[in-house]
Amino acid sequence: MTIWEKFETECTEYLNKKFGNLASFTNAGGSDSTISDIYVRTRKGKEFYIEAKHSPAQCGQFVLLPNISTRSFEYSRLNITPLNSAAKTIIRHMNADFDAYKEAGTTGKDIDLHDGGKIFAEWIIDSYKNKGTIFFITNDYTILRVDDFLEYFYVTAKYRVKRSGSSGVGKSNISEVYNHILKSGFNIGSHVMDGAKLFVTSPDMLHNTRFVFGNYEYMFSQRGSQYEIRKLSNTFNANVIFSIEKKSKQGLSDMEFSQFLK
């Protein structure tokens, strides 16, 4: 289990123990970046999300594609977050130094612009609000409102090439992948084929273990007592990636957070 996965679990347990009389808290996000980490439903039926971030951490990203003919960066249509004013400001800055940014590579290039921290925070706030996130919880179980993000974090951004996400194994080759796993010597118990997804059990710790089959790399991803086999993308996209580091600031008091839940 990674640090961030452990932290999400710990935060969910903490919230249920501390505020379980007012709301239920469910670990919901995992590796799915389209929703936040902790789903909240209050006793009165209010629903929202809390994002758990163990500082320092990455905190959102979007794909920018360099267009050589126009010498400008284009906001990818595959981005989950709609193009907003903060992203437009970042793109204008990068267009002014197009040659340097388009060669950023996997090492990346820092995005250094006037009031950068404020602009980066605006993008993060807008992005998480679009996912129904109202609060963040960070180190020492500090709880803060999304709108107060910049008061609690230093925010930086970098443009670098990063492999895109993962997907299910796929219906067409799910049996072949399963047979390959067995032949490769992995200690596999039961298995379930659910549509395009393949789940297996194992007494061994296989989370994040990778293997190659055909033209793709695959990974064991823990899902409770099972592992889902995920196909990693061969596509390398250039992303604007936001990173955060916690400031020394006290969060909401128990009473303040409780009042919101009531």
Angstrom distance (rounded) from CA 175 to CA 9: 33
| pLDDT value of residue 19 | 97
pLDDT score recorded for residue 208: 84
Q: For each of the chain's 262 residues, which pLDDT tens digit applies?
A: 678 889 999 999 999 999 999 999 999 866 567 789 999 999 999 999 999 999 999 999 999 988 888 999 999 887 888 999 999 999 999 999 999 998 888 889 999 999 999 999 999 999 999 999 999 999 999 999 999 999 999 999 999 987 777 889 988 889 999 999 999 999 999 999 998 899 999 999 999 888 888 877 889 999 989 999 999 876 667 899 999 999 999 999 999 999 999 9
Instruction: Examine residue 82 and say whether the peptide bond preceding it is cis (omega within 30 degrees of 0).
Output: no
Predicted local confidence at residue 124, as pLDDT: 97
Q: Which sequence spans correspond to the domains of the chain?
A: 166-232
Global pTM? 0.74
Buried b or exposed e, range 117-137, using 16+ CB within 10 angstroms: eebbbbbbbbbbeebebbbbb
pLDDT, position 178: 95
Q: Mapped to the 3 state alphabet, what secondary structure does the chain carry?
A: CCHHHHHHHHHHHHHHHHHCCCEEEEECCCCCCCCCCEEEEECCCCEEEEEECCCCEEEEEEEEEEECCCCEEEECCCCCCCCCHHHHHHHHHHHCCHHHHHCCCCCCEECCCCCHHHHHHHHHHHHHHHCCEEEEEEHHHEEEEHHHHHHHEEEEEEEEEEECCEECCCHHHHHHHHHHHHHCCCCCCCEEEECCEEEECCCCCCCCCEEEECCEEEEEEEECCEEEEEEECCCEEEEEEEEEEECCCCCCCHHHHHHHHC
Pair 29, 114: CB distance under 8 Å: no
Q: How far is CA 17 from the centre of its chain?
A: 25
